[in-house]
Amino acid sequence: MNGYTGHTLWVDLTRGTTTVAATDDQALKMVLGGRGLGIALLTKLAPVGVDPLAPENPLILATGPYTGSGVFSAFFNVTTKSPLTGLAAASHCGGKWGPAFKRSGFDALVITGAAARPCYLVLENGRAALKDADHLWGLGTLATEAKLKADHDGAEVACIGPAGENLVKFATLMNSHRAAGRGGVGAVMGSKKLKAIVVKGRIGTDIFNKEKLKAISSQGGKKAMEVAQAFAKFGSSIAFDFFNAKHTLPTRNFRGGHFPDGSLINAQALKDKYFVKDRGCLTCPLKCGNVHQVKDGPYKLEEVEGPEYETLMSFGSNCGNSNLESILMANLLCNDLGMDTITCGNIFAWLMDLQESGIITADDLDGTAMKWGQHESMLALIPKIAARQGIGNLLAEGSYRAAARWGPSALARVIHAKKQEYPGYESRRSFGTGFSLATSSRGACHLRAQLYVNELFVGEFQEKGFEAHMDTLLDKEHFLAIADSLLTCKFGMRNAGYTWPVLTDLHNALTGADLKIEDLKRIGERIWTLERLYNLREGVEEDMLPSRFFAEDLADEQPGGDRIDKDRFVAARRMYYQARGWDLLGRPEAQKLLELGLA
Ligand code: SF4
């Protein structure tokens, strides 16, 4: 098929075998690739109720037809059963690895089993080899990538750090300073004793209409450069001031939505004091990844990419921390050790909240005092979590599970949906965005619907309220499922103004298919429904907001921010299920499954 290599690599690490097989054409027609192919394969291959860290849990890396074909096309997707949530984890990642993986000759890589000793995979021009990784085990992601690139000229490297090796439940997979960040995919890779995947090659894919693809792609890049100059200059950190001004910036473990010291840790502060150069994913004109340096002081560092908005929130405002250099260092440590900055920062905010509330003391944390803004303590705990050392062993489980040690009052202060810590959007002042975090198919996640764009950037829900726009949420959920399956960058394509007609044209130019917009929408809904079916099979928790949002007003002396009426939330959820053709418990009805070709 045009747009695909036609080959999938199957690796059984228990047996030490690698097998090349044809990619399932029928599956690609149903779900395109990337995230869609990931959930289809996970549903088929993972035993019901499998322990996410057991050898039987497959780790699936997949590209899409767009990977490597134009601007915003550097992405790949990782799917597995999440050790953090127990749901399908689908994490997409930019950088350079995705296109190089495809050029090595494969659409997808399915890894099952577990090796007896540390190993890494080398893929080149349709061939695969497993190699010993004893010498790499224990290294950070930066050193691992550098060493493997030195050993494999011209290759790209995706790898885990010590956090993944030690099965930290929010460990990441890294490449080129970019993370497949959420859900703990790095821990699943660590459970398989697989340190890295090295890829290189020159295998091309056939494109049905190169001229048209090039036209769409270059027009998108040009438009994005015109409308997103601030994003190109500052990256996602540009959003920090916006959300602070809207009073929707999580502050002090979601006690408030406004951080008075915001100007000390915003995009301008980063640019003024620490900026070195731009960096971006392969072929992207926006280059949103700013590289920073701290020249001296306790947090001196040579180079770190980011932090992004979410990291400024999680280690900054949400911890009451206005020391920007400590945030830069926390970002570097997490990237190098291979841990998700959103979950890690939220854990610290929660610990500070627990100490402030008198639920725990420093004695509960190996003598570590965690007061608001106490960045020295945060930075001391990060390596302990990655190494599962002392209290780090408990915190490596994520805040939901760690709360069990300190009882119901500690659990009540965790801000999570389906056991995954929240991204940077305060729901009490953005009900629709909060609602979308509760219904997200991988636990709290802003990238499943990006509803903050509609609600906060554009203000679409102001006049009639979110409930009058339920169709918008469904449409966004399906649209972004397609973006994750064709595989394009959500930031890039939003700035390029990509809509359903553009994605449909893009797909057809790549593959030669003659899909209509409605066909693509149906595929998006199919992917979303497959994820729901998988999560139901694995005992998905209720779609629900954190209990504090129904019980506490925001305490930031800004207008609004009253607690959410739970009846309003439950009524909205009923509308959402109805709009989806799901029953009252959120299970897809038989008719809906028939419509989507899933029954
Ligand atoms: S906008 Fe940023 S994340 Fe997206 S492709 Fe460009 S550099 Fe990568």
With a 6 Å cutoff on the Cβ, whether 72 touches ligand 1 is yes
Mutate to test the pocket of ligand 1, among 67, 71, 72, 490 (most ligand atoms within 8 A of CB): 72
Do both 375 and 451 map to the same domain?
A: no
Do both 123 and 190 map to the same domain?
A: yes
Do both 241 and 372 map to the same domain?
A: yes
Domain end position, chosen among 355, 386, 417: 386
Mutate to test the pocket of ligand 1, among 288, 309, 480, 498 (most ligand atoms within 8 A of CB): 288
Distance CA 288, CA 523 (A): 30
> What local confidence, expressed as pLDDT, does residue 366 receive?
96
Where does the pLDDT of residue 541 fall: very low under 50, low under 70, confident under 90, or very high at 90 and above? Answer: confident
With a 6 Å cutoff on the Cβ, whether 289 touches ligand 1 is yes
Over residues 49-61, the pLDDT tens digits come to 999 999 999 999 9
Q: Determine contact, residues 509/69, Cβ cutoff 8 Å.
A: no
Do both 196 and 242 map to the same domain?
A: no
Q: 397 in a domain, yes or no?
A: no
Q: 493 in a domain, yes or no?
A: yes
Ligand 1 atom closest to residue 490's alpha carbon, by position in its atom list: 4
Do both 113 and 247 map to the same domain?
A: no
Do both 364 and 444 map to the same domain?
A: no
**How would you class 320 by CB atoms within 10 Å of its CB: exposed for 0-12, middle for 13-18, buried for 19 or more?**
buried
Using the predicted structure, report yes or no on whether residue 540 has a pLDDT greater than 90: no
Q: Kindly report whether the peptide bond that precedes residue 307 is cis, defined as omega within 30 degrees of 0.
A: yes
The distance between the two most distant Cα atoms of the chain, rounded to a whole number of Å, is: 65
| Residue 387 alpha carbon to ligand 1 centre in Å | 31
Cα dist. 577→299, 303, 368, 497, 586 in Å? 49, 47, 45, 29, 6
Do both 539 and 443 map to the same domain?
A: yes
- Domain ranges, residue 443: 427-595
Q: 395 in a domain, yes or no?
A: no
Over residues 186-216, the pLDDT tens digits come to 999 999 999 999 999 999 999 999 999 999 9
Q: 229 in a domain, yes or no?
A: no
- Rounded to an integer, the average pLDDT of 457-484 is 97
Among residues 498, 459, 482, 478, the alpha carbon closest in space to that of 579 is found at 478
With a 6 Å cutoff on the Cβ, whether 286 touches ligand 1 is yes
Ligand 1 atom closest to residue 495's alpha carbon, by position in its atom list: 1
Amino acid identity of 61? L
**Chain Cα centroid distance, residue 196:** 19
If you ran DSSP here, which 8-state letter would residue 555 be given?
A: -
CB atoms within 10 A of CB 47: 11
Which residue owns the Cα nearest ligand 1 atom 8? 281
With a 6 Å cutoff on the Cβ, whether 287 touches ligand 1 is yes
Over residues 238-279, the pLDDT tens digits come to 999 999 999 999 999 999 999 999 999 999 999 999 999 999
| Residue 407 alpha carbon to ligand 1 centre in Å | 42
Amino acid identity of 39? I
| Residue 165 alpha carbon to ligand 1 centre in Å | 28
Which residue owns the Cα nearest ligand 1 atom 6? 284
| Percent over 70 (pLDDT), the chain | 100
Which residue owns the Cα nearest ligand 1 atom 5? 72
Do both 462 and 588 map to the same domain?
A: yes
The count of C-alpha atoms lying within 13 angstroms of the C-alpha of 76, restricted to the half-sphere facing its C-beta, is 28
Among residues 505, 507, 502, the alpha carbon closest in space to that of 492 is found at 502
Over residues 138-171, the pLDDT tens digits come to 999 999 999 999 999 999 999 999 999 999 999 9
With a 6 Å cutoff on the Cβ, whether 284 touches ligand 1 is yes
Domain end position, chosen among 151, 179, 200: 200
With a 6 Å cutoff on the Cβ, whether 95 touches ligand 1 is no
- Rounded to an integer, the average pLDDT of 364-385 is 98
Do both 364 and 437 map to the same domain?
A: no
With a 6 Å cutoff on the Cβ, whether 288 touches ligand 1 is yes
Q: 31 in a domain, yes or no?
A: yes
With a 6 Å cutoff on the Cβ, whether 70 touches ligand 1 is no
- Rounded to an integer, the average pLDDT of 448-471 is 97
Write the CATH number for 370: 1.10.569.10
With a 6 Å cutoff on the Cβ, whether 492 touches ligand 1 is yes
Do both 194 and 243 map to the same domain?
A: no
Where does the pLDDT of residue 557 fall: very low under 50, low under 70, confident under 90, or very high at 90 and above? Answer: confident
With a 6 Å cutoff on the Cβ, whether 496 touches ligand 1 is no
Do both 25 and 168 map to the same domain?
A: yes
Which residue owns the Cα nearest ligand 1 atom 1? 492
Mutate to test the pocket of ligand 1, among 217, 281, 480, 493 (most ligand atoms within 8 A of CB): 281
User: Which pair of tokens denotes residue 197?
Assistant: 């995947």
Cα dist. 424→235, 436, 445 in Å? 16, 13, 10
Over residues 106-144, the pLDDT tens digits come to 999 999 999 999 999 999 999 999 999 999 999 999 999
With a 6 Å cutoff on the Cβ, whether 489 touches ligand 1 is yes
Q: Determine contact, residues 164/171, Cβ cutoff 8 Å.
A: yes
Chain-wide mean pLDDT for the chain?
Answer: 97
DSSP 349-387: HHHHHHHHTTS--GGGGTT----TT-HHHHHHHHHHHHH
Write the CATH number for 80: 3.60.9.10
Cα dist. 93→59, 74, 350 in Å? 15, 8, 27
Mutate to test the pocket of ligand 1, among 287, 305, 486, 493 (most ligand atoms within 8 A of CB): 287
- Rounded to an integer, the average pLDDT of 319-343 is 98
Where does the pLDDT of residue 412 fall: very low under 50, low under 70, confident under 90, or very high at 90 and above? Answer: very high
Write the CATH number for 555: 1.10.599.10
pTM of the complete model beyond 0.75: yes
Q: Determine contact, residues 336/141, Cβ cutoff 8 Å.
A: yes
| Count of structural domains, the chain | 3
Q: 170 in a domain, yes or no?
A: yes
Ligand 1 atom closest to residue 279's alpha carbon, by position in its atom list: 7
Over residues 274-290, the pLDDT tens digits come to 999 999 999 899 999 99
Q: 210 in a domain, yes or no?
A: no
Q: 402 in a domain, yes or no?
A: no
Which residue owns the Cα nearest ligand 1 atom 2? 288
Q: Quote the crossing angle between the two packed helices 375-387 and 324-337, to the nearest 10°.
A: 0
Distance CA 24, CA 27 (A): 5
Where does the pLDDT of residue 2 fall: very low under 50, low under 70, confident under 90, or very high at 90 and above? Answer: very high
Distance CA 507, CA 291 (A): 33
Domain end position, chosen among 200, 229, 261: 200
Distance CA 275, CA 269 (A): 9
